[in-house]
Structure 1
Amino acid sequence: MRIFPASLALACALLGACSADVPAPTTPAAGPALQLHAEPWPLPADASAAQPDLVAAPDGSLLLSWLAPDARGHQLRYARFSAGRWQPARQIARGDDWFVNWADTPHLRASADGALWAQWLRRSAGNPHAYDVLLARSADGRQWSAPVTVHDDGTATEHGFVSLWPEGADGMGIAWLDGRRTAGTGHGDGDGHGQGNGQGAMTLRSARFDARLRKHDEQELDAMTCDCCQTGAHAGASGILLVYRGRDAGEVRDIHLRRRVAGGWQPSRRVHADDWVMPACPVNGPAVTAYGDEAWVAWYTAPQGEPLLRLAHSGDGGATFGAPRVPDRGTAVQGRVQVAADADGLWLAWLREDARGQSLWLARYSPSLERELGRLRVALLQGRGRGTGFPRLLADRGNARLVWTDVVAGRPVLRGTVVSPVAAASAP
């Protein structure tokens, strides 16, 4: 999204956009237990499409959403993958006043009753960086409700970077970054982000919506967060896990976690004490997933000036995390991480960019992260920089499904692949 101008050169180095050629990552010396095999996964998206989301529905089908430009603005569209084939794509909504951005993207989720919920962003004022979060619901996937604005502060400020999760039998939980306290404070640099020490800071809020789109239990979860890093959430047996990039008065921007159990939201804490002092938003949020009582968080950081990809495991549902491992490091590391888990372990996806181009990588880990089982360069992209956005990852029947944006001849296009693990041949 936008970065504090005084730190633009630093951010360029940290994000790898100015990196020289760096060797591609390799699997640890112990050797992989699996070979990873990728097959193309044709997608039903429009010829020009970007900002995908990929999630599973309660019936086992998969839901893919994307943004497609049209003559008057943009459409938010989706398709369902079931029984090995795609159903026809459908329109969720369209508008000519939407806020469309490579980093702050729409989301699609299904609640426990099978209803679909979609979220997107709409400009709210003359300021190009003032926008609202809209939420709509469909009981049948065809007819959609009129959207409601998730927040009711009425300020011409930023609201976005949303996470959704199923709530109860038919509801939806939501968390978002909220800029209401930045209104009229003269904060930051005029580029839409608060950089002050506690005054006009971005906040993290949450609420839940019922099937009639009535809001309940809105609350502030953190009074000072990083301005424009993605949030991530997972709803599982151990409760709700919500991760985001925090921020304090000393500009430490480490990854924080809020865990909600039967008694409510527990206090925020850092997944790991990186102590990364960063005077601007890196636009690079964390990812979280869980399976049973195990949970994993992946994130980008650069505490000593070297970009790192970190990955941490919890054996108690997110209550505590062990020391993280570092799957990748160096100036080529873009981050933009995704994680997905199943009974056999964890999938991790991330982006790199060096002089040879941008590439999408996938690794497979044992549940405890003690072993990296396999690693694969999934794709070498034609696009560079931010236009490729954030990949999406899903675990599906022992395989990994990936969807990402590439840029071909100046036009964004969606690509997909299915990666299957194959046992490595034993040495003779």
Structure 2
Amino acid sequence: MSFVFGCALSLLQVANPVHEIKNPRITIVELPELTIEGAKYPTIVQAGDVLYVNYFIEKNKITRLEQRRLINGAFTPPTLISASKNLMVNWADRPRFALGHDDSSLVTWLESNGHGYGIKYMFSRESGAAYTEAKWLHQDQEGAEHGFVSLVPLKLGGFFAIWLQGGAFGTEDAYQTSLMGLVINADGVLGDEFVLDDRVCDCCDTDAEIFDSGNVVVTFRDRSDDEERDIYYVRGNPLEPDSFSGAKPISLDEWKPNGCPVNGPAIASLGRHTAALTYCNKQWSTPRLQISQSNGGGKKFGLVTILSAKNTIGRADIAYLPEGIPVAAWLHTIEDEVWWVARAVPRKGMAGPREKISKSSSARNSGFISLASTATGVIACYNDGDDIGFSSIEFEQAAADVFDTEVE
């Protein structure tokens, strides 16, 4: 099946929204011609009519971080980002990439620093065609752990970077993790760091979205003094650090897991409409995946809709179809088999039926799924055995009377 990728962002903004339709059905088609053999732990990012894929691959016994661009349905040759001997590969903490509004781009990854690991970044003025020398993203070099980055391109140029930062070994803060942020200007120069939340879960993904107002919503798994670890968010303008609100719950589940669940939030936006995924398990016998939506630029989120209440592994992502409907994808057990699955979730009405994307496993090396919006639908990329696989997700129709209301 061939695909023509148009300017996804502009088409999404003018598309006739059908996000209030009930039971939206999606069609999923695997794209074997896009397989990247021998690669793992991908992330995919949409920028205009181009999709960027970052991944790890081993060549000549050396692990490399590479990037490819998907243009008009075909990949460009790989660009080498890093092949450092200190390169750190973490199944749960993938490299991040963002393209700015002035053809600048930013990429981050993890490297060991002798007593722990930190975040390296490179800046480009040529849409990733050539990068500056790699540098540390953060000032702190004593903390044991840094990672779980989110990157947001700012409207006036530059980027906002968010990450988790652990305390230094041998100190009273050694087991405390903070949510940090800083602005990287249009010349690739780091601004001052600031704390967004001083106590968060230590190994769950962060995610963030920016709105036309310049405000950014940052989502993360919080950690209260009594060890509740629910999904929270802060909202503010990165150019005015004091504007960030105090942390608020997206879903107040009062969950107290035994340690980090390694399942953070995912968030996507279309105009002022926002959808956030949360993963939790409190009084329920198995974990569940939920979605909460906002129609006010992320100022507040509504009641949750349960997407999956049985056999949920998580490792989820979310993106918008051109029709204005968010699609969630995650790892799920079906009759003793593990699959990447997806569901469309309208702003009002019942979620559509769950559809299979690709067979997988619950092992760590299955990693996380990554979604990106295009002019025709959503592209999913994921670990597929020893390779990276791709599938297309498109809106089909309203499944008016075919959906069983039980979630599982």
* TM-score category (smaller protein): 0.7 to 0.9
Aligned to 2:228: 252
Decide which of 113, 117, 120 is 2:106's aligned counterpart.
Answer: 117
The alignment covers a number of residue pairs equal to 374
SS of match in other structure, 1:215:
coil
1:238-275 CA-partner distances (Å, limit 9, x unpaired): 52111000001111000010112476312211112100
- Distance apart, 1:290 and its partner CA: 1.0
Aligned to 2:200: 225
- Distance apart, 1:94 and its partner CA: 1.4
Partner Cα separation in structure 2 for residue 384 and residue 163 of structure 1:
25
Pairing 1:3-402 to 2, within 5 Å after superposition: 32-40=23-31, 42-43=33-34, 45=36, 47-57=37-47, 59-125=48-114, 127=115, 130-140=116-126, 141-179=128-166, 181-185=167-171, 200-238=175-213, 239-261=215-237, 264-306=243-285, 307-330=287-310, 332-341=311-320, 342-353=322-333, 356-366=336-346, 368-381=347-360, 383-402=361-380
SS of match in other structure, 2:34:
coil
- Distance apart, 1:138 and its partner CA: 2.0
Which residue type is aligned with residue 254 of structure 2?
D
Say which structure, 1 or 2, has more relative contact order (CA 8 Å, 6+ apart).
2
Identity, in percent, stands at 25
Q: 1:208 to 1:251 in 2, by over 3 A?
A: same
CA contact (8 A) 2:35 2:389 kept: no
Partner Cα separation in structure 1 for residue 199 and residue 229 of structure 2:
10
Partner Cα separation in structure 1 for residue 294 and residue 267 of structure 2:
11
Partner Cα separation in structure 1 for residue 251 and residue 233 of structure 2:
10
Partner Cα separation in structure 2 for residue 249 and residue 305 of structure 1:
23
- Distance apart, 1:82 and its partner CA: 2.0
Partner Cα separation in structure 1 for residue 348 and residue 315 of structure 2:
20
Which residue type is aligned with residue 384 of structure 1?
S
Which residue type is aligned with residue 335 of structure 1?
G
- Distance apart, 1:231 and its partner CA: 0.5
Q: 1:243 to 1:354 in 2, by over 3 A?
A: same
TM-score, normalised via structure 2 length: 0.86
TM-score, normalised via structure 1 length: 0.82
Q: 1:154 to 1:34 in 2, by over 3 A?
A: closer
Partner Cα separation in structure 1 for residue 266 and residue 400 of structure 2:
34
Cα RMSD between the aligned structures? 2.2
CA contact (8 A) 2:267 2:274 kept: yes
Runs of 5+ unmatched residues, structure 1: 1-29, 188-193, 195-199
CA contact (8 A) 2:23 2:400 kept: no
Runs of 5+ unmatched residues, structure 2: 1-20, 402-408
Which residue type is aligned with residue 418 of structure 1?
S
Partner Cα separation in structure 2 for residue 278 and residue 166 of structure 1:
34
Partner Cα separation in structure 2 for residue 364 and residue 157 of structure 1:
39
CA contact (8 A) 1:291 1:343 kept: no
- Distance apart, 1:44 and its partner CA: 5.9
